[in-house]
Structure 1
Amino acid sequence: MPPLFARLLVRLRKDFRLSIITVFGVCAVVAIAPFAALRFAQGQWLAGVVDALIVLGIVGPSIYAWRGGNLDRAGLCIAVTNTIGALLIVALLGRTGVYWLFPTLLANSFLIRPGIAGSLALGAVALTQLQPDAFESPGQRLTVTTTLLLVSLFAFIFAKRTAMQRSALEEIASLDPLTGARNRRAMEEEVAIALNAHQRTGRPVTLALLDLDHFKRVNDRHGHEAGDRLLCTFVELVRRSTRATDRLFRFGGEEFVLLMEHTDEIGAMRAFANLQRRIHEDLRAGGEPVTASMGAAVLRHGESRDAWFARADAALYRAKQNGRDRLVLDETAP
């Protein structure tokens, strides 16, 4: 398999929303584009133009999404294009075009939030009632309208339930099972976001590595269960001692990463002082006090992820070498 194609498949597997948008982009080309060609061949120029615009309105946002654009915006553009296009087809073709509303309403439930999809569905059904040629009899109007509403309702329920399950699974996949802190997978994603945000805004962001001092001694003296309880207590202390916007990740063993946006050197020192006070008051193992060391580095403009981590790790090493239970900030010249 060519490397480029393999990378595309990996990206699609990792991003459910992007894969859905991609499917609709492909469907637009494969399923709708031939209808546009058929309309033109039959002399139905206006209907052909509408079909062609629908294809462009789906393919364009799909390309935008692949180029790193906002997926919510891309999905909304495609859903609005679907709905307006289906209504135009109903206006042009009458009851033959009504059948396009069914796949449109189903598609929208996968592309956008269920509430917005439901609103679009109700609007589309209501506007269809104003089309004089959409139904050949009152009975057909009632039947088609009822089935459209039922399809919209079932799609809403399914999409809502699916979104809740996917959110729960993503939450589980991003957490460390022992401590409840975010895991390394989540850390890599958040660090990448922080790097991009810093390059755009220039706002300070600090990366701190925290390590429990003499953790092996705790395991040796009091057992691994006591060590596990200590890790959980430490995570809870960090959460209570830091801001809601600060994110804690378990890096491995007794080492953790604290990502603090909008935080410079002074802010990092204040954060550690508050955390250290809480640790001295509440962190115990077998009745014995436990301390923690921290090495921190403020991100430099244009700095890579690896260089940033290396500076924070070097600062943590110096904190350990200088007696532990302290913060060392990396302030080396770039």
Structure 2
Amino acid sequence: MRDLWSRLRHDAYLAIVIFAGLLGLVSIFPFALYRWVAGDWVMGALDSLLTLTTLTALYIAWYRGQSRLAGQMLSLLYAAGAIIVAIYLPVTGLFWFYCVVLFNFFIAPPLRSTLITLGSLAAICLYGLWRPGTIFPDLQHLIIFACTALICSLFAYLFAWRTTLQRRSLQELANLDPLTGVGNRRTLMQEIEIALANFRRHGNQCGLLLLDIDHFKAINDTHGHAEGDRVLVDLADLVWHTSRRTDRLFRLGGEEFVLLLPGADLNGLSIVAENIVRAVGERVRTADGSVTVSIGGTLLLPDDDGSSWMHRADVCLYTAKNNGRNRSVIYKGVADDREVAK
């Protein structure tokens, strides 16, 4: 039970899909039973189909981990169901459409839910125009329904759009370093776990470079913290723009950064580290001279966990510091873990 609540608490979209799906089941399943008992075979079959498809979507979301696919399935399913219910249950069936409007904007992205909602609304209204008196008693009722549905959709869209923006902002605050805009320590730990899982399951190698700005305290003491912040931003921008699209840069804390390089080999890791050292020395500067960086790096080893992987890079970093700074030291995989080679 703890794992259940933990998963729902940490995956907002999954929680919305599960809650909306369960709400749909509670709303639809009793009607399915009632229709079968009352002998309304068409609506009973429809409600049963909606129930089974909802269960399928919940299975896809929970056990397959495809929450967005499940959400889109439910959105399209209930929109189609609203059209059919409106046709087979004139007047009273239209009330379900407002529930579908709200449901769509919770379960699907704002633009996609708008298209689905407007499409289903158009289908109902066009059918009403094609078959007068079937869904709406007269044209006036059709116009009133269309206007109220559009107004409801507009407010739902504005709410969903604003909520999406706020959720993205919260995700950025939770995952990004506010100064440099790169990943923060929390995101780094998550990416390390992903890299370890890919290495254990599929043998996908990954390199790790630990970067530390040399004499950073002296930069702050001499030029002020504003200048120190600028150096951090310049270094992050330089490393970010000179790395591959698949590489991930994180600020570990203070003047330390971590660069993860999926698919790297030992030679590639060494070349990247040397290039960063050279580029920083040439392009990142303060008022009284250039800034230098020391780097320690290592590939994943079979028995690694996150701590041992980071510790090995940290040992290499301190070796680079002790050997004069402004250089990189990469672990070569020798038997003695205390030995490193430049």
Q: TM-score, normalised by structure 2?
A: 0.85
Residue aligning to 1:211: 212
Residue aligning to 1:179: 180
Which of 102, 106, 125 in structure 2 is aligned with 1:110? 106
1:27-176 superposed matches below 5 A: 27-67=23-63, 69-128=65-124, 129-130=126-127, 132=131, 133-176=134-177
Distance 2:156 2:320 in 1: 56
**1:250 to 2:251 alignment:** yes
Q: 1:201 to 1:142 in 2, by over 3 A?
A: farther
Distance 2:203 2:34 in 1: 53
Residue aligning to 1:266: 267
- The code of the aligned residue for 1:161 comes to R
Give yes or no for contact 2:20–2:107 (8 Å, CA) kept in 1. Answer: no
Distance 2:302 2:77 in 1: 40
Question: How many residues are treated as equivalent by the alignment?
Answer: 330
Distance 1:269 1:234 in 2: 19
Distance 1:273 1:326 in 2: 7
SS in 1 for 2:33: helix
Residue aligning to 1:319: 320
Q: 1:101 to 1:181 in 2, by over 3 A?
A: same
Q: 1:67 to 1:147 in 2, by over 3 A?
A: same
Per-residue deviation, residues 121-170 of structure 1 (Å, max 9, x unmatched): 12211221326422122211121122223322332232223212321232
**Cα drift, residue 112 of structure 1:** 1.4
SS in 2 for 1:20: helix
Give yes or no for contact 2:277–2:328 (8 Å, CA) kept in 1. Answer: no
Q: 1:154 to 1:64 in 2, by over 3 A?
A: same
SS in 2 for 1:180: coil
SS in 1 for 2:326: coil
**Cα drift, residue 310 of structure 1:** 3.2
**Cα drift, residue 309 of structure 1:** 2.5
Distance 2:325 2:221 in 1: 19
What is the RMSD computed on CA atoms of the aligned residues?
A: 2.7
SS in 1 for 2:313: helix
Aligned-residue sequence identity (percent) comes to 38
Distance 1:66 1:309 in 2: 33
**Cα drift, residue 116 of structure 1:** 1.7
**1:282 to 2:283 alignment:** yes
Per-residue deviation, residues 201-243 of structure 1 (Å, max 9, x unmatched): 6444322111122334444555545433432332233223323
Per-residue deviation, residues 314-334 of structure 1 (Å, max 9, x unmatched): 332333344332222223269
Distance 1:105 1:150 in 2: 11
Which of 12, 15, 19 in structure 2 is aligned with 1:19? 15
**1:236 to 2:237 alignment:** yes
SS in 2 for 1:188: helix
- The code of the aligned residue for 1:298 comes to L
- The code of the aligned residue for 1:272 comes to A
Please, which runs of 5 or more residues in structure 2 have no aligned partner? Answer: 336-342
Q: 1:196 to 1:118 in 2, by over 3 A?
A: farther
- The code of the aligned residue for 2:55 comes to V
Distance 1:308 1:66 in 2: 32
SS in 2 for 1:116: helix
Give yes or no for contact 1:293–1:320 (8 Å, CA) kept in 2. Answer: yes
Q: TM-score, normalised by structure 1?
A: 0.86
Q: 1:141 to 1:119 in 2, by over 3 A?
A: same
Which range is displaced more, 256-265 or 197-206?
197-206
SS in 2 for 1:100: helix
- The code of the aligned residue for 1:323 comes to G
SS in 2 for 1:260: strand
SS in 1 for 2:295: strand
